[in-house]
Amino acid sequence: GSSSKRLKDLSRCQLAFLAAVLNPLNFVSRTKTCGELRSCHVGQEVTLCGWIQYQRHGLFLVLRDFQGLTQIIIPQDEVRRMPTGDIEVKAKTAEVLNSCKKLPFEIKDFVKKTEALRMQYRYLDLRSFQMQYNLKLRSQVVMRMREYLCNLHGFVDVETPTLFKRTPGGAKEFVVPSREPGKFYSLPQSPQQFKQLLMIGGLDRYFQVARCYRDEGSKSDRQPEFTQIDIEMSFVDQAGIQCLIEGLLQYSWPEERGPITTPFPSMSYAEALASYGTDKPDTRFGMKIVDVNDIFKSAELGFLQNALNMPQGTIQAICIPQGAKHLKSKDFESLKESAESQFNQGILHFILRPDGTLKSPVSRFLNEKQKSDLIKAVKAEVDDLVLLAAGEHMECSILGKLRLETADLLEARGLALRDPAAFHFLWVVDFPLFLPKEKNPVELESAHHPFTAPHPSDADLLYTEPAKVRSQHYDLVLNGSEIGGGSIRIHNAKQQRFVLEAVLKEDTELLSHLLEALEYGAPPHGGIALGLDRLICLITGASSIRDVIAFPKSFKGRDLMSNAPDYIVPEELEPYHIQVAWPTAQAEVKTN
């Protein structure tokens, strides 16, 4: 059955090839697109449709459509090749389909315009080559992902509701009033519950290009609605999901971005924090963090000693190759200021002189052994810059940030540190299942979400020392950005209840349907979600996710083109049994 079906698909694909020769001219009156004309068309009569990009003295004009540009000349004959090799069309008849008033900005990529102006006239901004390229590429990548999941691997594309129930702790969920007084839907942050319920429903392999919602107020590179490639499978383990995703990205990767190699490297959460000071390391360059506690155990510098005396105290260093050569003293200042302002912490810097000695304001407080051990530990060479920080809980923090800032500074000084054409994928694994709550560290919260399964080797610890349990969560990192995350889920109702009630102290009432569902023979299952906006942003090299979304919102969540959100007359709220609770000051303005 299944193989004869595939053969049929194959022949339809050949049909697609034949039909594509005519594309994109079916169904429309034009016979050629502007981007299509070549030498072989010289002498032909053609019909083109498009926008006038440029015109001069009624002698010639340049016509633009979604495919490209063509020069039209008024007096001479038909399609002809110009001395430059370009193709030119002689107009026989021309029809003005519509007029255009003066544009607020020119449709040329090099013409700078403010983001606000671009957003207000988004439909004009969409005429730029770059925006059209980004949206076309996005569409193509998603299409190939679908082919891989649906046609190659038997996944079923299932649409799940976006009008749903609030999830526990879902403080970032938009609410939607219903016609039942006091009752609200929530716009879910992900289809997490539905994908698990589909596995319980026996659907085996689910995927969806899912619209998700998160109300985070003003955040610069987030959108109130965003898209994720959402995947879930039954009877699968972590390695299975990782292999699936590697194949997915390899299959859908745009050819013009070069091939990517699989399997992707993997790094534990602990190693990521130790070596890169972050759980999403940018592995396109070195400058790893080195632990130098042992070297300075007996150093007489007070602030190093203080750090070592703290319970979680540590001394760490990074080495910036040729840093002394490329960075200026104001760069050092900027790094120190950054450490000061973001972490309220001082850093030390050392430069390895050509004579092998270390230059540093604190150099004289260190003995020769300490200096040579430091040079050895960070593998410093002549003209390298070494940054040293000391304190408590430095993981995830100061040197990880300074490493990235230094990379930016070096690139600003002209050093090609990170190849813009390089794509470094990395799996980060073995996350802790729980983390201490920021506001009350004796209580635990989920490091990701409460449905994450414990690591099989740590399963027993769950009931004795939950804080030490590693999870079966995995993040996918690309060039230092998290582009996806997922986990093997808990499929045992008792274990899920224990996590929610005993460890997290959550009210399980909001999740009673899911807990009950787990009792009806839930299969082992796991999945992942890829952040599509960010992934496409990295592939295209766009500077913001707003450049890969057709109609994005401003960082305040506004649509500047239509002016949404907007006021609504009270009568239109009546069916929903809500009224506006005006903040006092504004209420006065309104009632004036």
Binding mask 176-215 for its own copies (x = CB under 8 A): xxxxxxxxxxxx-----xx--xx-xxxxxx-----x-x-x
The reply to whether 16 sits near its own copies by the rule CB under 8 A is yes
Shortest reach from residue 186's CB to its own copies, in Å: 8
Beta strand pairing status for 69-73 and 385-392? unpaired
Which residues from 19-48 bind its own copies, rule CB under 8 A? 19-21, 23-24, 26-30
Which residues from 374-433 bind its own copies, rule CB under 8 A? none
Helix axes 329-343, 398-412, angle to 10 degrees: 150
Residue (of 450, 529, 523) closest to 196 by Cα position: 523
Residue (of 352, 340, 348) closest to 401 by Cα position: 340
Integer Rg of the chain from CA: 30
Residue (of 555, 576, 580) closest to 566 by Cα position: 580
d(CA 205, CA 515): 21
The reply to whether 451 sits near its own copies by the rule CB under 8 A is no
Q: Which of 61, 63, 87, 241 binds its own copies (CB under 8 A)?
A: 241
Residue 316 vs 540, nearer CB to its own copies: 540
Shortest reach from residue 422's CB to its own copies, in Å: 23
Q: Which stretch binds its own copies (CB under 8 A): 280-288, 299-307, 416-424, 553-561?
A: 553-561
- Could you say which DSSP state residue 438 is in? S
- For residue 437, give Cα distances in angstroms to 277, 312, 442, 488: 20, 17, 7, 23
The reply to whether 515 sits near its own copies by the rule CB under 8 A is no
Segment (H or E) for 227? strand 225-234
Shortest reach from residue 436's CB to its own copies, in Å: 25
Binding mask 59-98 for its own copies (x = CB under 8 A): -----xxxx-----------------------------xx
Residue (of 74, 99, 79) closest to 39 by Cα position: 79
The answer to whether 564 touches 558, Cβ cutoff 8 Å, is yes
Which residues from 154-183 bind its own copies, rule CB under 8 A? 154, 156-166, 171, 174-183
Shortest reach from residue 255's CB to its own copies, in Å: 7
Residue (of 493, 490, 495) closest to 473 by Cα position: 490
Q: Kindly state the number of chain residues that form the binding site for its own copies, as judged by CB under 8 A.
A: 150
Residue 131 vs 407, nearer CB to its own copies: 131
- Say how many CA atoms lie within 13 Å of 470 toward its Cβ: 13
Here the tokens at position 373 are 């051990």
Which residues from 242-301 bind its own copies, rule CB under 8 A? 243-244, 247, 251, 255
Which residues from 452-511 bind its own copies, rule CB under 8 A? 491-492
d(CA 263, CA 245): 10
Residue 129 vs 463, nearer CB to its own copies: 129
Residue 504 vs 518, nearer CB to its own copies: 518
d(CA 513, CA 534): 33
Residue 6 vs 505, nearer CB to its own copies: 6
Binding mask 128-147 for its own copies (x = CB under 8 A): ---xx--xx-xxx-xx--xx
Which residues from 216-235 bind its own copies, rule CB under 8 A? 217, 224-225, 227, 233-235
The reply to whether 590 sits near its own copies by the rule CB under 8 A is yes
The answer to whether 450 touches 192, Cβ cutoff 8 Å, is no
Here the tokens at position 191 are 């289809």
The reply to whether 442 sits near its own copies by the rule CB under 8 A is no
Which residues from 92-131 bind its own copies, rule CB under 8 A? 97-101, 103, 121-127, 131
- Could you say which DSSP state residue 102 is in? P
The answer to whether 279 touches 435, Cβ cutoff 8 Å, is no
Q: Which of 150, 260, 362, 377 binds its own copies (CB under 8 A)?
A: 150
Q: Which stretch binds its own copies (CB under 8 A): 58-66, 257-265, 337-345, 461-469?
A: 58-66
Beta strand pairing status for 87-90 and 69-73? parallel
